[in-house]
């Protein structure tokens, strides 16, 4: 076991390094691009990312990005229903914020999330849905397999899956 050294003002502490078991390592990564749009009033999109078994069955939400700070009469959670496909597949039964799944909306750019280690390639379809205030809504789907990719037309850019 390796040691990790933490530098502090006036000294250092040595502690054993933490290592995750191999089974906890992600099975791969999902890369999602949110394009920069030339529109008069741009709002960051709400995004839901989930898996569905190929033969049908319960879906599994991997991430939900929404306006966490919006409070009052119209909290950010009110608009999660605009992610219509995800909402019908199981989003409506989730309590937000969901630890480890929910997070703030993202600005245009490229983002990576891990594929959980207990998910086997080829048995699921990855769905990514985006919806923007005063904007559009888009849903893209791709088989969960290393090298699989698709590209959205407006609200989403390239969605790609890579092996670890």
Residue 6 has pLDDT above 60, yes or no: no
Strand 102-104, strand 60-66: pairing: parallel
Per-residue confidence band for 18, with pLDDT thresholds at 50, 70 and 90:
very low
CA angle at residue 88 from 61 to 142, to 5 degrees? Answer: 55
Query: pLDDT-derived band of residue 8, with 50, 70 and 90 as boundaries?
Result: very low
- What percent of the chain is modeled with pLDDT above 70? 79
Q: What's the first-to-final CA gap in the chain, in angstroms?
A: 23
**138 vs 23, more confident:** 138
Q: Which residue has the higher pLDDT, 127 or 23?
A: 127
Q: What tens digit of pLDDT does each residue of 119-146 get? A: 866 689 999 999 998 788 999 999 998 8
Q: In this predicted structure, what is the pLDDT of residue 1?
A: 43
**Using CA atoms, how far apart are residues 107 and 112, in angstroms rounded to an integer?**
13
**Position 39 pLDDT exceeds 80:** yes
Among 119, 137, 118, smallest CA distance to 128 is for: 137
Q: How confident is the model at residue 27 (pLDDT cuts 50, 70, 90)?
A: confident
* pLDDT at 15 > cutoff 60: no
Q: Mapping DSSP to helix (H, G, I), strand (E, B) and coil, where does residue 64 land?
A: strand
Residue 61 tokens read as: 């939400």
Task: Please give the sequence-ordered ranges of beta strands (E in DSSP) within 77-151, or none if there are none.
Answer: 102-104, 109-115, 124-131, 137-143, 149-151
The pTM (predicted TM-score) of the whole model is: 0.80
Q: What's the pLDDT at 135?
A: 81
- CA 144 to chain centroid, in Å, comes to 14
For 67-97, write each residue's pLDDT tens digit.
Answer: 877 766 666 788 899 999 999 998 988 878 7
């Amino acid at each position: 076991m390796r040691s990790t050294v933490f530098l502090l003002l006036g000294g250092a502490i040595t502690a054993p390094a933490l290592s995750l078991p191999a089974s906890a390592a992600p099975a791969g990564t999902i890369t999602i691009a949110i394009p920069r749009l030339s529109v008069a009033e741009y709002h960051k999109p709400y995004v839901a990312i989930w898996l569905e078994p190929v033969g049908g069955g319960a879906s599994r939400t991997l991430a939900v990005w929404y306006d966490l700070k919006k409070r009052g009469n119209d909290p950010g959670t009110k608009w999660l229903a605009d992610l219509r496909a995800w909402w019908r597949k199981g989003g409506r039964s989730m309590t937000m914020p969901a630890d480890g799944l929910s997070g703030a909306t993202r600005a245009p750019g490229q983002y990576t999330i891990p594929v959980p280690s207990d998910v086997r390639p080829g048995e699921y379809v990855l769905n990514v849905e985006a919806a923007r205030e005063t904007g559009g809504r888009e849903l893209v789907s791709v088989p969960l397999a290393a090298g699989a990719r698709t590209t959205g037309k407006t609200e989403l850019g390239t969605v790609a899956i890579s092996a670890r």
